[in-house]
Amino acid sequence: MRKWMWALLLIIPVIELFGFILMSDWIGAGKTLLLMILTSLIGIAMLQFEGRKVLIDAKSEMERGKVPGRKMVDGLFIFVGGFLLLIPGFITDLIGFTLLFPVTRSVYRLFFLGWLEKKMRNGSIKFYRGPKK
């Protein structure tokens, strides 16, 4: 896992720089920089809107006595998507936007829950439920 993290820390900036250079050649450096700032601002607005919506939905589920498991996963994806939108770059913006939109977020949720289930079955992830009352 750590090897993948180091590889991503090296590869992502190179890809983002390459994308910035390509976009600068295509539309100009000033417009590219403005586009990056604009996507960050739109991302912050979407993060606030979607985050507030998920919090309200989770609160209503808890008031009905349900565990807001899916809403918590959505909240995690919204947080990660917002963080990716703050990082300058087009690839991270694309992934960040797809994490913020509810339609595409469901695709990420399916893969994440499948990965989580696999890790729980092979014992890599364990849950502690605490003492019984």
Inter-residue contact 69 to 91 (CB < 8 Å) = no
HEC string for 35-92: HHHHHHHHHHHHHHHHHHHHHHHHHHHHHCCCCCHHHHHHHHHHHHHHHHHHCCCHHH
pLDDT at residue 9 in the model: 83
Tokens, residue 81? 């998507």
Residue 50 contacts residue 105 (beta carbons within 8 Å): no
pLDDT band at 101 (very low <50, low <70, confident <90, very high): confident
Residue closest to 43 by CA, chosen among 106, 101, 112: 101
Q: At what angle do helices 90-100 and 69-86 cross, to 10 degrees?
A: 160
pLDDT value at 2 more than 80? no
Statement: residue 21 has pLDDT above 80: yes
Q: 31 or 125, which is more confident?
A: 31
